[in-house]
A and B are shown apart, each in its own frame.
Chain A
Amino acid sequence: MKKQLYFLLLLITTLISSCEKDDFCIDPITPNMIIRFYDATNTANTKTVSELYAWPNALDSIYSNASSDSIVIPLDVNSNQIIYNFSTGTNQDILTINYEVEEVFVSRSCGFKAIFNNITVTSDSANDWILGLTTTLDNTVTITTIDDETAAHVQIFH
């Protein structure tokens, strides 16, 4: 009886000590905003931006001297507005992004993520290098929701 009791004690101790963190966050969490750069004259074609800098107001650059036809920028989950500066060479334009934050529970290890609704992106009217956000080169575009990172959310024509 005593021997069996010791065995069970050992078994239970093993069980309990093995009940450690076993799940890691692998599900998609808060999506970033994906911006794709297009040619303003031939709107169907993507166009690479060189010497690209991107930074939110009063914060460090997210892209420094990059050369790409698409960028990924985070949105602030604690705010409803974020202002981004984009520059190439000596030209600088400002994008104002307004949005609503919705909290969605993902899982135990991932916690809550945010998805963004009713997003309005407005480019400043200076049009230094960003000529528009739609194929008709409007300076404003609205997006219903950003809840994943599978496709570009915003097009920038330059």
Chain B
Amino acid sequence: MSKFSKKRGKATPAISTASLPDIIFMLLFFFMVVTVLRDSSLMVKVNTPQASELTKLEEKSLVNYLYIGRPKETYEDQYGTSPRLQLGDKFSTVDDIPLFLEKHKIKVPENKRARITSSLKVDGDVTMGIVQDIKTQLRKSNQLKVNYSAKPKND
């Protein structure tokens, strides 16, 4: 009896840290998988409006992004202040959309092509004129699945 109590009282065993690297690696892998490195830097100001009826975009590889907004300050001298369209990493016009869609399409496996969605990231202060032109062009290119990007409403 006394033998046991003596031992316990003397020293608390140190916690083994051998599994610590494993835990950290697990976290590391989680963040590595979740991380999306942005491939295009924004040249237009895009502040999407708020909405409540949102649906989530499922597969990232099936989504192409169209940014619409006014050029950032650094590009104002060159491109003015009226709303512009950005495809990939350069300013574009409505006529560039079919080629842009086609370039994205060939990267997608054929059986998934029907599910390609265009995500329109449009600034809230833009007028509908340019958005309408882009919608018309999307319809002409037969890209009918569109997602108006919006922030969730917090109320």
Q: Does A associate with B in a complex?
A: no
- Listed in ascending order, the chain A residues whose CB lies under 8 Å from chain B are none
- Listed in ascending order, the chain B residues whose CB lies under 8 Å from chain A are none
